[in-house]
Amino acid sequence: MKLRESRSRKVFKAVNMIFILTVCAMIAVPLWMVVITSLSPDKLAAEKGFVLIPEAIDFSSYIRVFKSHGYMRAFLNSLGITVTATAFSMALTTTMAYALSQERLMFRSFLMNAVLITMFLDGGIIPLYMVVRDMKMIDSYGALIFPVAVGTYNLILMRNYFRTLPESLIESARLDGCSELKTLIRIVLPISVPILAAVTLFYAVGHWNRYFEVVMFINKGEKYTLQVLLRQLIFQGESEVTTQVAVNNFKMAVMVVAMLPVLVLYPFIQKYFISGIMLGSVKG
């Protein structure tokens, strides 16, 4: 027998659907307009402004970006830093989260509270710069990796996820003679793909978009990341391009280039994303 939904339930579902569609439109429409503007010829953009469906496609703005001096080097710098920093962050976060999820860890509550403090108290920019300088990491990529190696929020998510795993599974591995590291690698990680994928995405996006630390710690132009170079291209384009419309098209192309790798990566992780975040947020 099929239960009939109450009227209030139907109203709630309708309002909820309208709200979701509105939020999706607020996100999708500006993003679509950015892409279309970057692909529109200057003359067409000057005559009609923003359009939802382009009448013609012009890649001249993208050609200017890709042909700019130092683009490929900056892209490889960003890619190398993102891959290295994400792998390093995941290694530290995974091992630390697993340790903090174990009840028998000595001083577990104290260590967890110490971790939580870092979410609310920031050491500040000047002390951070002094630490990096004293460790001889100015003008090195280590300054972009080590100070931000572990994200507190990501650590808590992963630790909570590990706490939802059956304790009997881990105890069985210990009875079979597995060490803690072996248990983590062979038992825990294979069944933790959702949270690993979600946290990897968080770290990768954060490292890819990193800008402020590059400006503060990196002085040599050949070590600049893509985000810094793209900002320079925007200001350079404003002085080189004659019309404001062409400048806007160029800016939109720069924005698309900056977010393209993330858009390419997300579909491969999306199926794990929601489940990983939900399970990692349940148990405290």
Predicted local confidence at residue 102, as pLDDT? 86
Task: Summarize the confidence of residues 54-72 as an average pLDDT.
Answer: 81
Predicted local confidence at residue 55, as pLDDT? 75
Predicted local confidence at residue 23, as pLDDT? 94
Task: Summarize the confidence of residues 176-193 as an average pLDDT.
Answer: 87
0.85 exceeded by pTM: no
pLDDT at 1 over 50: no
- Per residue in 7-57, pLDDT (tens digit) is 788 888 889 999 999 999 998 888 888 888 888 887 766 666 667 777 778
Q: Which of these CATH numbers, 1.10.3720.10, 2.40.340.10, 1.10.287.3510, 2.60.40.1180, describes 59-280?
A: 1.10.3720.10
pLDDT at 207 over 90: yes
Predicted local confidence at residue 122, as pLDDT? 79
- Per residue in 170-184, pLDDT (tens digit) is 888 888 888 888 888
Among 157, 150, 159, residue whose Cα is nearest residue 90:
150
- Cα(132)–Cα(263) distance, integer angstroms: 32
- Cα(78)–Cα(207) distance, integer angstroms: 8
Residues counted in the chain:
284
Predicted local confidence at residue 87, as pLDDT? 96
Of all residues in the chain, the percent with pLDDT exceeding 90 is 27
Please give the single-letter amino acid code of residue 77: N
Reading the block at residue 235, the tokens are 């200001």
Predicted local confidence at residue 277, as pLDDT? 61
- Per residue in 111-135, pLDDT (tens digit) is 888 888 888 887 788 889 999 999 9
pLDDT at 280 over 70: no
Contact 201, 276 (CB under 8 A): no
Predicted local confidence at residue 58, as pLDDT? 82
Contact 94, 189 (CB under 8 A): yes
Predicted local confidence at residue 56, as pLDDT? 77
Rounded to the nearest integer, the mean pLDDT of the chain is 83
pLDDT at 90 over 70: yes
Cα dist from 281 to 111, 123, 276, whole Å: 19, 27, 9
Residue predicted with more confidence, 67 or 22: 22
Contact 258, 100 (CB under 8 A): no
Predicted local confidence at residue 138, as pLDDT? 92
Reading the block at residue 156, the tokens are 């808590």
- Per residue in 131-156, pLDDT (tens digit) is 999 999 999 999 999 998 999 999 99
Predicted local confidence at residue 279, as pLDDT? 58
User: How sure is the predictor about 239, in pLDDT bands with cuts at 50, 70 and 90?
Assistant: low
Angle between helices 71-100 and 193-208 (to 10 degrees): 140
pLDDT at 68 over 60: yes
Predicted local confidence at residue 88, as pLDDT? 96
Reading the block at residue 152, the tokens are 């507190």
